[in-house]
């Protein structure tokens, strides 16, 4: 028997095919995750010791302090030292 196909059936089939291809791609990437350089990094990863964690927090804190200081100095420059130069920003 021949089947009469309308546009809806063709679109539905092509959508299912596209979804299947998309799903196959995701499954392939998940399966290959354990084979590449990422897997090596994940295998080498470990929980930091208390000393390492403390050092990391100190270094990050110093970095945030320095960035905040730079931002504050820029604000002081814009408001007090060179207001005429930066007046175009507020208009």
Query: Tell me, what's the pLDDT at 12?
Result: 56
Enumerate the domain spans of the chain: 1-45, 47-91
pTM, 2 dp: 0.48
Its sign, for the CA torsion 83, 63, 37, 32, is: negative
Return d(Cα 25, Cα 32) in angstroms, integer. Answer: 11
Cα torsion through 42, 47, 52, 55, rounded to 10: 80
Residue with structure tokens 């990391």?
56
* 52-71: average pLDDT: 98
Provide the total of helices (H) and of strands (E) in the chain, helices listed first. Answer: 4, 0
Query: Tell me, what's the pLDDT at 34?
Result: 66
Predicted confidence band at 73 (pLDDT cuts at 50, 70, 90)? very high
For the chain, the residue count is 91
């Amino acid at each position: 028997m021949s089947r009469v196909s309308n546009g809806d059936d063709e679109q539905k089939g092509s959508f299912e095919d596209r979804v299947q291809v998309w799903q196959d791609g995701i499954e392939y990437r998940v399966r290959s995750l354990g084979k590449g350089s990422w897997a090596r990094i994940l295998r080498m990863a470990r929980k930091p010791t208390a000393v390492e964690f403390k050092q990391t927090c100190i270094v990050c804190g110093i970095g945030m302090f320095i960035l905040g200081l730079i931002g504050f100095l820029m604000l002081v420059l814009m408001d007090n030292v060179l207001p005429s130069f930066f007046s175009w920003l507020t208009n």
